[in-house]
Amino acid sequence: MKSPSMPNRSLQLALAGVLVVTLTLLGLGSYLGEPILFAASVHWLLLLVLAGGTLRQQKNGEDAGQYLAAARLGLGALVLSESVVGYQILTRDLLVPWDTPAFLSSPGLLLAGATVMMLLLGIWFESRSQSGSADDGGLAKVCRVGTILGLIGTGACFVPVELLETVTGPTALLLLAVPSVLALELVLRGLQAFFAPTVSPSDFGADLVSARFLGSSYNPIQSVLLAIEATFDVDVRSSWVLDFLRSVALPVLTGFTLVVWALSSFVIVDASQLAVRERFGKVDADSVLQPGVVIGLPWPFDQVRRVDVTRVRSVPLGYTDPKAGADALWTQYHAEKEFNLLLGDGRDLLTINAEVVYRVGDVHDWLYNCQNPTLALQTLSYRALMEATANKPLDLVLSRDISSFSEHMHGEIQALADEKNLGIEVVAFNLWGLHPPVAVAEEYQAVVAAQLDRRTFKLDAEADRESELPRARAAALQKTLQTEAERVTRLATANGEATAFKALYTEYKLRPDVYRYRKRLETLESVLEKDPHYIVDSRIERDGGAVWILNN
């Protein structure tokens, strides 16, 4: 049993580097929306699985069984799965770029760096293959193929801007197709190992036949010749073979080049697209190419520019880099950056979170009337927002009906886009939030709470007034009526007493002695009626009688 600890350690380091580059290309391709970077990661993934399988075989030696077949099948299927997913993403234009930092503005430089690393790995694997490992030789061939693909992808990233859209799609598909072919062979080898297992599977199977034809040498003709010799054990370097190849090489290459050039006359316009043709740099303003196969002159005499007119796009207003799963509360930030609008009075700031949803309405206007229609639409939308909030206080803006405000903004933005001939149809204006800046959320809520308290206290005071005022009026009226009744009563009493006094005075004038005698009797009666009095005749004691007085 071999003990390749040092070679395995170096292979582990190489495997770690391949993993880092694979994840970098995949992540940056998705983040930047660059199809070429995304597609280039597939070949690096293929190299990763082949190197991983090779490392496992070199560690465990000749380990016969079903593992080798399952490993080939599973790892090959993994690469094919990413290729299929990548094809769906590229053909459906699902790669949406985020804000690109300045140091990532050139994907061509990133891919060039990865290509140099692939070249160095190929040289290193080639040096290891001198020890006789078929897997190391196969990995070297895969690295050569990756280097060639990297050069093609890097060149496509640096083409002129007017050709970038035409070149990017086919290049990305090529970068997906080549590793898919290699991965398919690995899957077939896995199936073969299930039904016809190798007697001594000392190698993982990284020496793929398709990689021999494509990567035995950086010279494509020499690569094919070497692959034929290695695969079919045929000496193609004999004199008659070389003479034959020399005689047919130039016509074949010329014919192949002409066929490929002629194929550029055929352009497929997808069902969701419309296109315009530029012939010798001139555009027919009345011509719009419908979906289907478009036939014209080969490149560069004809150039067909396709535009997806069914795709609904959006541009944010008031924010950038929205946070996923952010709370709906306006007192918290919903994006990495939120902008404030200065209202017309010059004192209040307003934060708005909105989105303009649009699609391409006129292909010619979209392509030729503005260099960046999306940026122009965003600028016009901010202009419409400023006009809608100019000379208005914060309370009035916040109290506006959201639905009517959105409809108003929809119409204003569409009118401005039509005025500038951007070729844009505004689908909707979605207003997610309209509120004061988050930085002053607590202070604004305190002001609002104070205003509500003031209103509440005022309403409570008015309610108390409306409740107490009738009660006070009723009490006052009651007092007035009681006083009037007392006045009438006293007046009547006084009149009665005066009348009685006059009657007595008249009687007194007629018989004064009788009046005085009667008054004396009345006085005695009133005084004597309070206590019992007894009258005793003096004759009783004189005649010897006795008087007994008993008090009850």
* 271 lies in the same domain as 369: no
Q: In this model, does residue 117 exceed pLDDT 90?
A: yes
Structural domain includes residue 490: no
H helices present in 390-440, as ranges: 394-398, 402-419
| Percent of the chain whose predicted confidence (pLDDT) is above 90 | 9
First-residue to last-residue Cα distance in the chain = 147
β-bridge pairing 349-360 and 424-435: antiparallel
Handedness of CA 210, 215, 221, 225 (dihedral sign): negative
Helices and strands of the chain, counted as H and E runs = 16, 11
pLDDT of residue 146: 92
Residue 292 lies in a domain: yes
- The DSSP symbol for 438 reads G
Give the bridge partners for 350, in sequence order: 341
Same domain flag for 152 and 204: yes
Using CA of residue 375, residue 379, residue 382, residue 384, what is the dihedral sign?
negative
Q: How far is CA 68 from CA 46, 59, 140, 188, 202, in A?
A: 17, 13, 21, 13, 10
Tokens 């080549």 belong to 178
Asked if the structure places residue 420 within a domain, the reply is yes
Asked if 285 contacts 364 with a C-beta cutoff of 8 angstroms, the reply is yes
For every residue of 482-495, DSSP letters joined together read: HHHHHHHHHHHHHH
Residues 282 and 426 in one domain: no
Least confident interval from 80-84, 478-482, 493-497, 514-518? 514-518
d(CA 222, CA 171): 24
* Poorest-pLDDT segment among 142-146, 270-274, 341-345: 341-345
Burial 496-525 (b: 16+ CB within 10 A, else e): eeeeeeeeeeeeeeeeeeeeeeeeeeeeee
> Is the model's pLDDT at 230 over the cut of 60?
yes
Average pLDDT of 7-23? 85
- Domain final residue, candidates 388, 404, 436: 436
- Residue that wins the pLDDT comparison between 514 and 114: 114
From 383, 403, 436, give the residue that closes a domain: 436
Q: Which of 308, 339, 360 is the last residue of a domain?
A: 308
Q: Are strands 282-283 and 273-279 parallel, antiparallel or unpaired?
A: antiparallel
Residue 467 tokens read as: 């409740």
Contacts of residue 169, defined as CB under 8 A and 6 or more positions apart, other chains included, come to 35, 90
d(CA 163, CA 279): 14
Whether residue 64 is predicted with pLDDT greater than 50 in this model: the reply is: no
Structure tokens at 186: 């690995």
pLDDT (0 to 100) of residue 198: 56
Interval 89-111 mean pLDDT: 66
Model confidence pLDDT, tens digit, residues 410-448: 999 999 999 999 999 999 988 876 666 655 566 666 666
Give the pLDDT band (50/70/90) at residue 116.
very high
Torsion (CA) 487, 493, 496, 500 in degrees, nearest 10:
-140
Q: What is the CATH number of the domain that holds 332?
A: 3.30.479.30
Q: Please state, in angstroms and rounded to a whole number, the distance separating the CA atoms of residues 196 and 417.
A: 67
Contacts of 470 (CB under 8 A, 6+ apart): none
DSSP 267: E
The total number of structural domains in the chain stands at 3
Overall average pLDDT of the 243-249 stretch: 70
Closest CA to 46 of 205, 217, 156: 205
Q: What is the pLDDT of residue 3?
A: 47
pLDDT tens digit string along 394-405? 655 565 667 787
Q: Residues 180, 208: one domain?
A: yes
* Residue-level pLDDT at 194: 73
**Unique residue bearing structure tokens 């006795």:** 546
Query: For residue 531, what are the contacts with CB-CB under 8 A and spacing of at least 6?
Result: none
- Cα–Cα separations (whole angstroms), residue 458 to 452, 461, 463, 464, 474: 10, 5, 9, 10, 25
Q: Is residue 532 part of a domain?
A: no
Asked whether residue 280 falls in the same domain as residue 424, the answer is no
Residue span of the structural domain in which 75 resides: 5-232
Q: Are residues 292 and 389 in the same domain?
A: no
pLDDT given for residue 118 in this prediction: 92
Check pLDDT > 90 for residue 72: no
Are 130 and 113 members of one domain?
Answer: yes
Which token pair is 469? 């005022």
How many Å apart are CA 133 and CA 54, to the nearest integer?
Answer: 10
User: Do 275 and 424 reside in the same domain of the chain?
Assistant: no
- Together in a domain, 182 and 112: yes
Residue 261 lies in a domain: no
| Claim to verify: residue 317 and residue 304 sit in the same structural domain | no
| Gap between the Cα atoms of 143 and 43, Å rounded | 9
Does 65 have pLDDT greater than 60? no
Cis (ω within 30 of 0) for the bond into 251? no
Contact 143, 215 (CB under 8 A): yes
Q: Is residue 147 part of a domain?
A: yes
pLDDT at 344: 55
Which one, of 259, 253, 263, lies nearest residue 299 by Cα?
263
Q: Tell me whether residue 186 is in a domain.
A: yes
Q: Which pair of tokens denotes residue 313?
A: 């796009």
Looking at the predicted structure, is the pLDDT value of residue 210 above 70?
Answer: yes
CA separation for the pair 391, 448 (Å, rounded): 22
**What does the pLDDT average to over 369-377?**
88
The torsion of the CA quartet 88, 92, 98, 103, rounded to 10 degrees, works out to 70
Burial of 389 (0-12, 13-18, 19+ CB in 10 A): buried
Looking at the chain, the whole-number percentage of residues with pLDDT higher than 70 is 76
72 vs 255: CA distance, rounded Å:
38
SS3 205: coil
Q: Are residues 388 and 324 in the same domain?
A: yes
Residue 38 and residue 160 share a domain: yes
pLDDT at 126 over 90: no
The two structure tokens encoding residue 348:
């209040």
Helix, coil or strand: residue 407:
helix
Residue 331 in any domain: the answer is: yes
pLDDT value at position 295?
Answer: 87
Q: Which tokens sit at 350? A: 């307003």
The β-bridge partners of 274 are: 307
CB 150, CB 120: distance < 8 Å:
no
Q: What is the mean pLDDT of the chain?
A: 78
Sequential DSSP letters for 280-308: TTEE-TT--BPSEEEE-PPTTTEEEEEEE
* Residue pLDDT, tens place only, 438-447: 555 666 666 6
Per-residue pLDDT tens over the stretch 156-183: 888 776 677 778 888 888 998 999 998 8
